[in-house]
Amino acid sequence: MTPLASQVWLAVPVAVPLAAAGVHTAFRRRALSAWTGLLSPCAVLAAGVVLARAVLSGGHPPTAFRGVLRADALSVWILLVVGAVAALAAAAAPAHLAGERAAGRADAATARRYQVLVHAFLGAMCAAVLAANLGVLWVAIEATTIVTAFLVGHRRTRASVEAAWKYVVICSAGIALAFLGIVLLYYAARAAQIPEAQALDWPVLVAHADRLDPAVTRLATALVVLGFGAKAGLVPLHAWLPDAHSQAPAPVSALMSGVLLSVSFTAVLRCKAVADLVLGPGYTRTLLTATALLTLALAVALLLAQRDYKRMLAYSSMEHMSLIALGAAVGTPLAMSAALLHIAGHGLAKTVAFCASGHVLQLRGTTRIGRVRGLLARAPGLGTAFGLSVLALLALPPSGLFASELALARAAFAARFGWAAAAVLLLVLTAFAALAVRTAAMLLGDVPRVGAGPAASGAGVALQLQPAEQRLGVPPVAAEGTPQGPYRPAGDRPGPARLAPGTPAVPVRLGMAAGLPLVLGLAACAALGVAAGPLTDLLSAAALPGRP
Amino acid sequence: MSEGTYTQLLDLACGAFLLAAVVVLWQRKLTAIVRTFALQGVALAALPFLLGLHEARGELIAVAAGIGVLRTGVLPYLMRRALDSLVPAPVTGAGHRYVENVSEAWETQPLVNVAASLLTAALLTLLAYAVARPLVLLGPAPATRALPVGLAVMLIGFFVLSTRRRALAQVVGFLLLDNGITATAFLAASGVPLIVELGVSFDVVLAVLVLQILTTRMRTAFGTTDIDDLRELHD
């Protein structure tokens, strides 16, 4: 790859989303179509493909801007996952925003702010993935916290403000610890006579690992795992995760859960590569195994008693992040490729699950599992998509998660991690049962009758919105001139407005705009499970531990 | 500047830096806490200034100026503005002298009382010295020997963050944490590279802006900025 081409293709994933955010800020008067949001994820994907070819063709990894940005197999893999998840989330955004607008919870300004923040979020994530300098990586990850704060707190309700506050305070304080770790690594590198300009570049640190002071590196690694672990949803600083993921708009929850957690975990992997060379693999292995097991146990305990389906999905993210951390702890090439495959499969499946849950929330007006019954009968398309996405998250074949969890178990037993693998297997099975029972309660069951909608009572943790079904009951005059949202009664059967209370509700069709991203996401997740195809080379290159 | 004067001034700045963090624990009035934080910024800016003079590096003195403006000017200004919007100005005039609502301006009941807080600060400082031993051993120099002070302030910041109940006191805790890390960076390695320093400062300003806006929203939604009242979300 020529230097110019590397500069261009490394700049595209960062610059295009940021430029899109700028354009959305500038166009105050005329609202751009929500579909323009697809442009920058496509640019990220294209850059990912080009960089993947460059990385796999051998030779020097592409670098740009005096080594600030750099692509290797791992960063390209994560970049592709970010692009794919962002494309699904961007495709789900128009239907989500139309639904919010139809409910009167959003207007043109809200939609514009949403687009600005989501694009800035995407740009910051891509910068974090491609940064070679650990300091720049930190700045980019902290920037994602700041940008998403107002997406988490977009409703201004008490629950929303509380979630945003906890999110910003816990994540900022948590990754401040990671910054201290990076400062200490810098100190060790400077003491090892590495020049100032390169002392934070992780490839340089990997190359000169033999000269770093072990005691300082040990402290730094612990701080980095703790700090970036906070942003990756690992204990002990995980408390923000269920709140933030349940309050954010559905496509943003998908991005946060599907890729932001993994991007932060990539930062841990970068430091692990350095620490393993300085301290031997035992130290990070112990640290990550302990963190992963604790996270998994906590997530499973809270999944067992969960009554809120968005929080259920959030805890399921913690469960999957702990599996990824365990893969990194095992650290063999097989375990690493399983962990990376798991990142991709989880990203896709969780995106579908969160986007579908957003539609369920708009349709039923509550996040309580107990109040969403008979989803399959009421909205067959939506119910099927949600059910399939949860099945994919449960790692049933042909989901990509099946392949990765199987490989992970094999790698763990091969690397004499039998006791940990057995504990994990037990916990994952418990989580399986909890998720399956909760989801079945949502999908099956009697269809509540028209007019017997949820009573507006104080519902504790659950979100209460005006359900779309009730909204559709108002005469069409109110809907004139405004977008109607994706929920229209099927065919030309009479709408619910004309039905007397007590008769079953008419099944709700999902609509093309809302359904297509879900179908595509499920298809991609299944394809990943059947055959990684052209991605196999990239995956095995990315899984080689500690190679700069 | 002779080596002795440099060491003495550096130790003086570090002492003032640590003292300011302890005084924050001691104070209960939020305006006083913000003022103390601004004074700590002066001590923090003195570190790169002294290092720059000692190592004859102009860019460190420029960084010192930037740090000074940010930590003694911009951040305290942002917090004072948030405080002003929370606490209505006292209404002057006959009959209105006692209506001022002061509860938002005070850290009424911290989770840990002041005496216990000061004791904890002492313990945290000892802990910082114990943890920092390998760091000091790696490169014994006057600046490196003062390094535990940065870690101590960081730990005290964490303590403030987890025990204070007013939203703004938590913001100060977060900023103490950040000051501690910045000081550690200067004392250990004369500061991180400029591009990282700039990015971090930018992030911190934005984070404080976001927290300021969220504080106002919290006041609107909950009627108070007491963190203990954030109880909507739980399992």
The average pLDDT across A287-297 equals: 96
At A205 the pLDDT is: 94
The verdict on residue A491 lying in a domain is no
The average pLDDT across A340-363 equals: 95
A positions 403-462 inside 8 Å of B (CB):
461
Rounded Cα distance, A267 and A465, in Å: 38
Query: Any chain A CB within 8 A of the CB of B62?
Result: no
At A333 the pLDDT is: 93
Task: Find the distance separating the first CA and the last CA of chain A, reported in whole Å.
Answer: 18
Backbone conformation region of residue A332, classed left if phi is above 0, alpha if psi is from -120 to 50, else beta: beta
Rounded Cα distance, A187 and B220, in Å: 45
Rounded Cα distance, B148 and B152, in Å: 6
B233 versus B175: the higher-pLDDT residue is B175
Rounded Cα distance, B176 and A166, in Å: 18
Residue by residue, DSSP assigns B44-104 as HHHHHHHHHHHHT-HHHHHHHHHHHIIIIIIHHHHHHHHHHHHSPPPPPSTT-TT----GG
The verdict on residue A493 lying in a domain is no
pLDDT at B99 over 90: no
Report CA-CA distances (Å) from A108 to A31, A114, A154, A160, A487: 7, 10, 14, 20, 20
Task: List, for residues A457-466, the tens digit of each pLDDT value.
Answer: 333 444 556 5
Question: Are A191 and B139 a contacting pair at CB < 8 A?
Answer: yes
Q: Which of B153, B155, B184, B192 to mutate to test the interface with A (most CBs of A within 10 A)?
A: B192
Domain count, chain B: 1
- Model confidence, pTM: 0.91
Where in the sequence is the domain holding A246, given as residue range(s)?
A: 3-447+510-543
Question: Are A172 and B174 a contacting pair at CB < 8 A?
Answer: yes
What is the average pLDDT score of chain B? 90
Residue A488 main-chain phi, psi, to 5 deg: -115, 145
Which residues of chain B does A161 touch, with a Cβ-Cβ cutoff of 8 Å? 214, 217-218, 221-222
Angle at B171 between CA B166 and CA B172, to 5 degrees: 95
Question: Are B135 and A165 a contacting pair at CB < 8 A?
Answer: no
Which residues of chain A does B230 touch, with a Cβ-Cβ cutoff of 8 Å? 162, 165-166
Which residues of chain A does B235 touch, with a Cβ-Cβ cutoff of 8 Å? 242, 302, 305-306, 311, 461
Instruction: Name the strand (E) or helix (H) holding A508.
Output: strand A508-509
CA dihedral A210, A214, A219, A224 (to 10 degrees): 20
How near does any CA of chain B get to the CA of A59, in Å? 29
- The answer to whether the CB of A126 falls within 8 A of the CB of A41 is no
Residue B41 identity (one-letter amino acid): G
Length of chain B: 235
A368 - beta bridge partners? A308
Residue A224 binned pLDDT confidence (cut-offs 50, 70, 90) = very high
Alpha helices (runs of H) in chain B, residue ranges in sequence order? 3-26, 30-55, 58-68, 75-86, 114-131, 133-138, 142-145, 147-163, 167-189, 194-222
Question: Are A183 and B188 a contacting pair at CB < 8 A?
Answer: yes
Question: Are A157 and B206 a contacting pair at CB < 8 A?
Answer: no
- The answer to whether the CB of A203 falls within 8 A of the CB of A548 is yes
A83 versus A489: the higher-pLDDT residue is A83
Residue A188 binned pLDDT confidence (cut-offs 50, 70, 90) = very high
Task: List, for residues A7-49, the tens digit of each pLDDT value.
Answer: 999 999 999 999 999 999 988 766 667 788 899 999 999 999 9
At B94 the pLDDT is: 53
B positions 104-133 inside 8 Å of A (CB):
131
A positions 226-245 inside 8 Å of B (CB):
242-243
- 3 state SS of A488: strand
- 3 state SS of A449: strand
The average pLDDT across B137-165 equals: 93
Residue A275 binned pLDDT confidence (cut-offs 50, 70, 90) = very high
Domain count, chain A: 1
Q: 3-state secondary structure string, A117-166?
A: HHHHHHHHHHHHHHECEHHHHHHHHHHHHHHHHHHHCCCCCHHHHHHHHH
Query: Any chain A CB within 8 A of the CB of B63?
Result: no
B142 versus B91: the higher-pLDDT residue is B142
On the CB side of A425, CA atoms within 13 Å amount to 13
Q: Which residue of B has its CA nearest to A213?
A: B138
The verdict on residue B137 lying in a domain is yes
Question: Are A215 and B154 a contacting pair at CB < 8 A?
Answer: no
Lowest average pLDDT, out of A227-241, B26-40, B98-112, goes to B98-112
B2 versus A455: the higher-pLDDT residue is B2
pLDDT at A492 over 70: no
Question: Are A186 and B158 a contacting pair at CB < 8 A?
Answer: no
Does the interface ipTM go beyond 0.90? yes
Task: List, for residues A513-544, the tens digit of each pLDDT value.
Answer: 889 999 999 999 999 988 877 788 888 888 88
At B92 the pLDDT is: 57
At A455 the pLDDT is: 40
How near does any CA of chain B get to the CA of A25, in Å? 18
At B102 the pLDDT is: 58
* Cβ neighbours for A517, distance < 8 A, ≥ 6 positions apart: A88, A89, A91, A92, A352, A355
Question: Are B134 and A215 a contacting pair at CB < 8 A?
Answer: yes
The verdict on residue B50 lying in a domain is yes
- Tokens representing A24 are 């959305």
How near does any CA of chain B get to the CA of A359, in Å? 21
Query: Any chain A CB within 8 A of the CB of B232?
Result: yes
- Tokens representing A408 are 């992970």
pLDDT at A480 over 50: no
- The answer to whether the CB of A188 falls within 8 A of the CB of A180 is no
A positions 131-160 inside 8 Å of B (CB):
133, 135-136, 138-139, 142-143, 145-146, 149-150, 153, 156-159
The verdict on residue B100 lying in a domain is no
* Cβ neighbours for A398, distance < 8 A, ≥ 6 positions apart: A526, A529, A530
Which residues of chain B does A303 touch, with a Cβ-Cβ cutoff of 8 Å? none
Question: Are A135 and B195 a contacting pair at CB < 8 A?
Answer: yes
Rounded Cα distance, B82 and A195, in Å: 42
Rounded Cα distance, A240 and A104, in Å: 28
Question: Are B214 and A159 a contacting pair at CB < 8 A?
Answer: no
Residue B170 main-chain phi, psi, to 5 deg: -65, -40
Rounded Cα distance, A41 and A361, in Å: 26
In total, the C-beta contacts within 8 angstroms joining chain A to chain B are 141
Q: Which residue has the tokens 């945290």?
A: B124
The verdict on residue B99 lying in a domain is no
Length of chain A: 548
Query: Any chain A CB within 8 A of the CB of B177?
Result: yes
The average pLDDT across B187-192 equals: 92
Query: Any chain B CB within 8 A of the CB of A173?
Result: yes
Closest partner residue to A305 (CB to CB) among B217, B222, B235 is B235
The verdict on residue A238 lying in a domain is yes
Rounded Cα distance, B10 and A111, in Å: 52
Share of chain A above pLDDT 70, in %: 88
Closest partner residue to A159 (CB to CB) among B207, B210, B233 is B233
A504 - beta bridge partners? A449
- Tokens representing A264 are 């932060």
Which residues of chain B does A305 touch, with a Cβ-Cβ cutoff of 8 Å? 235
Omega cis (within 30) before B134: no
Rounded Cα distance, B76 and B208, in Å: 10
Question: Are A158 and B210 a contacting pair at CB < 8 A?
Answer: no
Q: Which of B162, B163, B233, B234 to mutate to test the interface with A (most CBs of A within 10 A)?
A: B233
Which residues of chain A does B189 touch, with a Cβ-Cβ cutoff of 8 Å? 183, 186-187, 190, 199
Chain centroid to Cα B122, Å, comes to 17
Task: List, for residues A115-155, the tens digit of each pLDDT value.
Answer: 999 999 999 999 999 999 999 999 999 999 999 999 999 88
The verdict on residue A474 lying in a domain is no
Query: Any chain A CB within 8 A of the CB of B214?
Result: yes
Query: Any chain A CB within 8 A of the CB of B140?
Result: no
A positions 275-334 inside 8 Å of B (CB):
302, 305-306, 311
The verdict on residue B233 lying in a domain is no
Closest partner residue to A136 (CB to CB) among B199, B210, B230 is B199
Question: Are B192 and A183 a contacting pair at CB < 8 A?
Answer: yes
pLDDT at B30 over 80: yes
Which residues of chain A does B134 touch, with a Cβ-Cβ cutoff of 8 Å? 213, 215-216, 219
A194 versus A548: the higher-pLDDT residue is A194
DSSP A536: H
* Cβ neighbours for B124, distance < 8 A, ≥ 6 positions apart: B152, B155, B156, B159
What is the average pLDDT score of chain A? 87
How near does any CA of chain B get to the CA of A508, in Å? 31
pLDDT at A174 over 50: yes
Task: List, for residues B207-229, the tens digit of each pLDDT value.
Answer: 999 999 999 999 888 888 888 88
- Tokens representing A178 are 């990671």
B166 - beta bridge partners? B226
Omega cis (within 30) before A41: no
* Cβ neighbours for B73, distance < 8 A, ≥ 6 positions apart: B38
Instruction: Name the strand (E) or helix (H) holding A489.
Output: strand A488-489
Which residues of chain A does B218 touch, with a Cβ-Cβ cutoff of 8 Å? 161-162, 165
Q: Which of A121, A169, A438 to mutate to test the interface with B (most CBs of B within 10 A)?
A: A169
At B172 the pLDDT is: 95
Where in the sequence is the domain holding B50, given as residue range(s)?
A: 3-89+105-228
Question: Are B174 and A143 a contacting pair at CB < 8 A?
Answer: no
The verdict on residue B55 lying in a domain is yes
At B224 the pLDDT is: 84
Question: Please, what's the b/e burial string for A196-229 (b: 16 or more CB within 10 A of its CB; e: otherwise)?
Answer: eebbbbbbbbbebbeebbeebbbbbbbbbbbbbb
